[in-house]
Amino acid sequence: MKEVERESSGRVWLEIGSLYRILARLLESGLIAEGDSDERRRQYRITTLGRRLLKEEAQRLEALVELSRARKLLSEGRAG
């Protein structure tokens, strides 16, 4: 949870219940799998399917940013 908040510069924060529900859905849909774990922490890894869908989603978002720039809704630099 702390890492998500840190990496998103505070724009995304998760409550513990939300995090576990998200993980359960990702596991159930085959986008992540349990990795090596120890007594204190569970570890997860992205699956081949998860990586493929992540790439497709990144391409979809990239196309939206390009369209927004073409319509002069965004500056050429960073979004925003």
Residue boundaries of the structural domains of the chain: 1-46, 48-80
What's the confidence (pLDDT) of residue 69?
92
- Residue reference for tokens 């081949």: 48
CA–CA gap between residue 26 and residue 51 (Å, rounded): 12
- Tens digit of pLDDT at every position of the chain (80 positions): 888 899 999 999 889 899 999 999 999 999 999 988 888 888 999 999 999 999 999 999 999 999 999 999 987 665 55
Cα–Cα–Cα angle for 45, 25, 5, nearest 5°? 65
- Up-side HSE of residue 59: CA atoms within 13 Å toward CB? 6
- Global pTM value: 0.73
CA–CA gap between residue 63 and residue 30 (Å, rounded): 26
